[in-house]
């Protein structure tokens, strides 16, 4: 008897008018609405109609540029964006099932603020919040804050030992950052609020905990000003391209977004992340590895190829990506996703090349195709559910409550 097929998880990455730089020029694009609530509401609700696990919202602390290390002065690309965490909060009350995962910069922000913001996103969404962490070693971004200096980065200096040291430090700093965010989420035990009228106590203060983090880059006292969020620990995700990033997400994350170009690379990447997870002493904690793909989907193969060519021509430059760019039909994409799933991925974060077209293809053609093949949900759970539940992740115990219990058993 064949084993039932494992279900795969689907997420979509929302950014501007889509991931192709010429996407905003498509007939159905809404480039004048990129800064409106309605635009983001429509996209997120569309993703929810497709039963997706979650959406991510891109962000950055600099104006977008084609150059990954410095501003450009292009006037033919989408420029300007809204704060991703606020977009996620704005769409939370008008959605019910789908996870909301904003991108947050870890280099220039405060872990205390981020922890309470994501905890609050978890409250307003009733347990559907996540956090995608992203660091920035860009010199120009650091100048926006004026608090630290980074050497100018270029492709040529990337392998320079001093530059590499700065980058590796930033990954370590991000690990500390997530550690603080997570400790703060646990800094209130679930039942800390007692409202005990007899004694006049609103909380049991023994169930609030200082996190007392002291690291190389910062120290944070705690507790959080916000109680423990519904999920206990909202999910933490990161995009990872190389060993140092695999190590970060294996140490602190629940979901890794990776960019393989072949089945063989899937095997290598998943193996490396699992080994790093094990080295971090966390092999018992599930970690999802999602493949990132830029997708152009049409009802027939030739149309998708032609559309890609037309967009590339409009963009007036070679359009590449860190992720594989897939142009074809939803059936062809389903073949590829299932092949890569067999190689070790548990899900995919699809980057629609053009919005809303490619998102609609994902929800209206790809999702039904995957359902027909028995690898994707046909409905959300009927009971209220968290993002962790959609991802099959348990609600974690509170690290401080566990300590208290251990202490009690010794006495």
Partner 1 sequence: MTTPPKQIHLAAHFPGVNNTTVWSDPAGGSHIEFDSFRHFAQSAERGKFDFMFLAEGLRLREQNGTIYDLDVVGRPDTFTVLAALAAVTDRLGLTGTINSTFNEPYEVARQFASLDHLSGGRAAWNVVTSWDAFTGENFRRGGFLPQDQRYERAKTFMSTTWELFDSWHGDEIVADKSSGRFLSTPSPGTFQHHDAHFDISGQFNVPRSPQGRPVIFQAGDSDEGRDFAASSADAIFSRYAQFDEGRAFYADVKGRVSIRPDAQPTAHPARRDIRLG
One symbol per residue from 177 to 216: x for binding partner 1 (CB under 8 A), - otherwise; what is it? -----------x----x-x-x--xxxxxx--x--------
401 binds partner 1 (CB under 8 A): no
CB 153 within 8 A of CB 163: yes
146 binds partner 1 (CB under 8 A): yes
Name the E strands within 262-359: 288-297, 324-328, 347-352
Which residues have C-beta within 8 Å of that of residue 64, sequence separation ≥ 6? 16, 77, 78, 79, 80, 81
Name the one range near partner 1 by CB under 8 A: 47-55, 135-143, 160-168, 239-247: 135-143
Rounded Cα gap, residues 115 and 185, in angstroms: 7
2 binds partner 1 (CB under 8 A): no
309 binds partner 1 (CB under 8 A): no
Q: Which is nearer to partner 1, 172 or 268 (CB)?
A: 172
The correct pick among 14, 91, 181, 390 for binding partner 1 (CB under 8 A) is 91
Rounded Cα gap, residues 127 and 393, in angstroms: 13
Q: Which is nearer to partner 1, 89 or 289 (CB)?
A: 89
172 binds partner 1 (CB under 8 A): no
Paired strand residues for 130: 235
111 binds partner 1 (CB under 8 A): yes
Look at the block and give the residue holding tokens 């059936």. 331
Q: Which is nearer to partner 1, 146 or 407 (CB)?
A: 146
Rounded Cα gap, residues 118 and 241, in angstroms: 25
Nearest distance from C-beta of residue 166 to partner 1, angstroms: 17
Rounded Cα gap, residues 367 and 108, in angstroms: 38
35 binds partner 1 (CB under 8 A): yes
- Cis, bond preceding 356 (omega within 30 deg of 0): yes
Q: What is the DSSP string of 51-97?
A: T-SEEEE---SS---SSTTS----SSS------HHHHHHHHGGG-SS
Name the one range near partner 1 by CB under 8 A: 115-123, 243-251, 379-387, 390-398: 115-123
Q: Which is nearer to partner 1, 199 or 409 (CB)?
A: 199
The correct pick among 80, 281, 320, 407 for binding partner 1 (CB under 8 A) is 80
Q: What is the largest CA-CA distance in the chain?
A: 74
Name the one range near partner 1 by CB under 8 A: 145-153, 154-162, 370-378, 388-396: 145-153
The correct pick among 169, 218, 267, 404 for binding partner 1 (CB under 8 A) is 218
70 binds partner 1 (CB under 8 A): no
Q: Which is nearer to partner 1, 313 or 322 (CB)?
A: 313
Residues 232-291 that bind partner 1 (CB under 8 A): none
69 binds partner 1 (CB under 8 A): no
CB 217 within 8 A of CB 175: no
The correct pick among 54, 57, 112, 340 for binding partner 1 (CB under 8 A) is 112
In terms of Cα–Cα distance, which of 164, 388, 171 is closest to 287? 388
The correct pick among 12, 29, 131, 375 for binding partner 1 (CB under 8 A) is 29
CB 296 within 8 A of CB 308: yes
The correct pick among 25, 241, 373, 399 for binding partner 1 (CB under 8 A) is 25
3-state SS, residue 238: strand
Rounded Cα gap, residues 159 and 180, in angstroms: 30
Nearest distance from C-beta of residue 123 to partner 1, angstroms: 6
100 binds partner 1 (CB under 8 A): no
3-state SS, residue 256: strand
């Amino acid at each position: 008897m064949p084993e039932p097929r494992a279900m795969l998880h689907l997420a979509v990455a929302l950014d501007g008018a889509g991931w192709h730089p010429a996407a905003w020029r498509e007939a159905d694009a809404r480039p004048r609405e990129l800064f409106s609530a309605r635009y983001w509401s429509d996209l997120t609700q569309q993703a929810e109609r497709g039963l997706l696990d979650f959406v991510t919202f891109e962000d950055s602390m600099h104006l977008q540029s084609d150059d990954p290390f410095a501003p450009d002065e292009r006037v033919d690309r989408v420029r300007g964006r809204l704060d991703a965490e606020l977009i996620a909060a704005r769409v939370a009350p008008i959605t019910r099932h789908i996870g909301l995962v904003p991108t947050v910069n870890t280099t220039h922000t405060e872990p205390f603020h981020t922890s309470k913001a994501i905890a609050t996103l978890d409250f307003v969404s009733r347990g559907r919040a996540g956090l995608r962490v992203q660091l920035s070693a860009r010199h120009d971004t650091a100048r926006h804050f004026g608090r630290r200096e980074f050497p100018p980065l270029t492709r040529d200096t990337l392998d320079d030992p001093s530059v590499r040291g700065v980058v590796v430090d930033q990954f370590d700093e991000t690990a500390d950052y997530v550690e603080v965010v997570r400790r703060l989420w646990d800094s209130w035990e679930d039942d800390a609020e007692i409202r005990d009228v007899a004694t006049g106590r609103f909380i049991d203060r023994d169930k609030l905990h200082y996190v007392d983090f002291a690291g190389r880059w910062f120290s944070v006292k705690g507790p959080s000003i916000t109680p423990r969020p519904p999920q206990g620990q909202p999910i933490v995700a990161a995009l990872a391209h190389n060993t140092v990033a695999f190590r970060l997400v294996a140490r602190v994350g629940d979901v890794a977004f990776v960019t393989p170009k072949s089945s063989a690379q899937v095997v290598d990447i998943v193996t490396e992340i699992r080994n790093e997870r094990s080295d971090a002493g966390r092999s018992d904690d599930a970690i999802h590895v999602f493949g990132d793909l830029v997708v152009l989907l049409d009802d027939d193969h030739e149309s998708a190829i032609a559309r890609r060519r037309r967009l590339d021509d409009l963009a007036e430059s070679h359009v590449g990506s860190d992720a594989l760019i897939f142009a074809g039909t939803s059936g062809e994409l389903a073949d590829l996703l299932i092949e890569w799933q067999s190689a070790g991925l548990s899900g995919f974060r699809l980057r629609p090349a053009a919005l809303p077209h490619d998102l609609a293809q994902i929800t209206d053609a790809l999702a039904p195709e995957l359902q027909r093949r028995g690898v994707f949900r046909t409905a959300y759970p009927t009971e209220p559910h968290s993002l962790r539940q959609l991802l099959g992740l348990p609600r974690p115990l509170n690290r401080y409550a566990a300590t208290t219990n251990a202490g009690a058993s010794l006495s």
